[in-house]
Chains A and B, each alone.
Chain A
C-alpha cells in the first residue's frame, strides 16, 4: 500500500494559548486610571456624602425609610419592578418557546422584531408610549370607539403607564436568553415524557418548566434589577407624583440639591442591585446562568 511518509499527522492543540507575559499589568493602567478617577472615586464620594452631609450620622437613611414620601418611592419602585417582571415572564415565556420550535423563517422574523425593538432608541420608544397612552391617544380613542369605556382611562402619568412602558422595554431582555435556554433542550426528552404517559399538561409542568426554569429565573432577575434602577421611562411615563427611585435621586440632586439624601438613596439602590447579583451568581454559578445541558 503506498504510504506518503512525508505527511506526518499534526497533533494540533485547539487554539494555542499565548505564553504568559511576565506581567502585562502596565497595559491595564490607562483603563484602570479612567475608571478609578471617573467611576469609583465619584461614586464612593457620593455614597460617603450620605453619612457626612450635612453632619455625620445615618439621618438620611432614617429619613428615607421614615418619611412617607420617600418610603412610598421605594415601595413604588419595588412594586413596579415586580409587576414588570411578572408581565415579561408571562408574555415572554410563550414567545421564547415559540421562537425555539418554529421553523427558521419564523424564528428569524420573531428575532428581528425583538432586536428592532431593543435597538431602537429608548427615548423614541418611551415617546411612542407617551403618545399612545395619553387621554386623547390612540388606545383611549379606540376603546371609546368600540364602546368599551365611556371616559378615557388614565394610562399615563401614573404607575400603569410606567408598567406598560417598562414591560415593553424589558421584554426582549427576558425573551432572548430564555429562548437560548429552551433551544438548548433536546426535544427527544419531551418525546420520552410523552411515551412515559405524560399528558401535555404533565409534560409541561414536570419536564419543560423545570428545565427552562434556570433561564426564566436568570432572565427575571436581570429584568427586576434593571427595572429597579431605570430612570428615563419611569420619569417620562410616571409623572412627578409617581416617582421611582432613580428619578428621586435625580430630583434630589438637580432640584433640591440634597446630596446627602441622594447619596443615601443611591446606596440603597446599589445595595439591592448588588445583593440580587450576588444571589444570581450563587444560584446560577455558570456564566450568565446558562442551563447546563
Chain B
C-alpha cells in the first residue's frame, strides 16, 4: 500500500507532499531568483528589487569581453561536436562490431574521462599544454573539451548500435548495395536520432565545461564559463545575472526541443 498513492493515509500523504513542495521550491527558487534579479535595478542584488531595468543586459551587450567569450564558446563547441560525433561513431562501430579481445575493458576505458575527477585531468592537461604552448589556443580548448565530451558520444552511440537491427543492412546488401552505400544510405539514417543526441550532448558538455577551460584559458582567449568564473571571483555584479539568465533561457530552449523530439519519437516510431 505504500506504493499506492491513494492508500497512503493522510499523515504520510501530507508529509510526502510537503517535502515534495519544499524540494521543488529549493530546486526552482535559485534559478527564478537570478532571472528576476537580472532585471532588478539594485547593483547589490537586493531582493525584492527596488526597481526594474534592462541596464545589465545592455552592459552585457556593450562589453566586448562577454560577446567574445560567447563567440569562443560557440566556435569551440561546434568543432568539438563534429569531432566528438565523428570519432564517437567510428569508435562505437569498432566496439560493437569488432572482434578483437578486450572490448569490455576498452569500453570502460573510453568512459573513464567522464568518471574521474575533472580537476585532475584539467591540471594534467594544463601541464602538457604549457610545455607545447597550447594554452590559450583554440586547438587546446578543442582537445580539452573533446576528451571530456567523447565518452558521452561513445556511450550514446554504442547503446544505439547495440539496439540496431543488422537485418536492415543485410537486406540492403541483398538488394545489391556496396558496403559504403550501405553505411551511407542505411546505417547513418537509422542512427540519425542517436547521432543527433550524441551531438547535442557533446555540444552542451563543451559549452558548459568549466574546469579544464579555467586552466586552458589565458586573458587573450577564454570561453564563457571562464569569464563568468573570473567575474565571480571578483564581485557579484548583476551583469553576471544577465549572462546567467541568457544561459537559463538556452537550457529551457533545449528542454523544449527535447520534449518536442520525445513526442515526435513516440508518434513517429
The chain A residues found within 8 Å of chain B, CB to CB, are: 15-18, 20-28, 30-31, 34-35, 38-39, 41-43, 45-46, 91, 94-95, 97-98, 100-103, 109-110, 112-117, 119-132, 134, 136-138, 141, 168, 171-172, 182, 185, 187, 189-191, 193-194, 200, 203-204, 207-208, 228-232, 236, 246, 249-250, 253-254, 259, 262, 266, 269-270, 273, 277
Asked whether, in the complex, the Cβ of B236 is within 8 Å of the Cβ of A43, the reply is no
Name the B residues within 8 Å of A119 (CB-CB).
204, 251, 254-255
A56 to B153, CA, bound (A): 40
Q: Does B116 contact A (CB under 8 A)?
A: yes
Asked whether, in the complex, the Cβ of A138 is within 8 Å of the Cβ of B117, the reply is no
Interface residues of B in 126-163 (CB under 8 A from A): 126-128, 143-144, 146-147, 150, 154, 163
Name the A residues within 8 Å of B240 (CB-CB).
127
Asked whether, in the complex, the Cβ of B248 is within 8 Å of the Cβ of A115, the reply is no
Asked whether, in the complex, the Cβ of B225 is within 8 Å of the Cβ of A101, the reply is no
A42 to B135, CA, bound (A): 14
Name the A residues within 8 Å of B44 (CB-CB).
136
Cβ-neighbour of B125 out of A38, A115, A117 (below 8 A) = A38
- Among A17, A24, A230: residue with most chain B CB under 10 A: A24
Name the A residues within 8 Å of B126 (CB-CB).
253
Asked whether, in the complex, the Cβ of A262 is within 8 Å of the Cβ of B123, the reply is yes
Task: Identify whether the interface residues of B are mostly helix, strand, loop, or mixed.
Answer: helix
Asked whether, in the complex, the Cβ of B252 is within 8 Å of the Cβ of A116, the reply is yes
Q: Does B67 contact A (CB under 8 A)?
A: no
Asked whether, in the complex, the Cβ of B116 is within 8 Å of the Cβ of A273, the reply is yes
Asked whether, in the complex, the Cβ of A27 is within 8 Å of the Cβ of B94, the reply is yes
Q: Which residue of A lies closest to B126 (CB)?
A: A253
A230 to B241, CA, bound (A): 23
Name the A residues within 8 Å of B95 (CB-CB).
28
Asked whether, in the complex, the Cβ of B123 is within 8 Å of the Cβ of A253, the reply is yes
A27 to B95, CA, bound (A): 9
Asked whether, in the complex, the Cβ of B9 is within 8 Å of the Cβ of A259, the reply is no
A230 to B119, CA, bound (A): 8
Closest 5 pairs (CB-CB, A-B): A229-B117, A24-B98, A128-B30, A42-B124, A187-B3
Interface residues of B in 183-222 (CB under 8 A from A): 204, 208, 210-211, 214-215
Asked whether, in the complex, the Cβ of B16 is within 8 Å of the Cβ of A97, the reply is yes
Known contacts A25-B98, A124-B247; A35/B109 CB under 8 A: yes
Known contacts A15-B164, A98-B20, A232-B210; A42/B228 CB under 8 A: no
Known contacts A123-B232, A231-B119; A34/B166 CB under 8 A: no
Name the A residues within 8 Å of B115 (CB-CB).
273, 277
Known contacts A16-B170, A23-B99, A24-B100; A125/B150 CB under 8 A: no
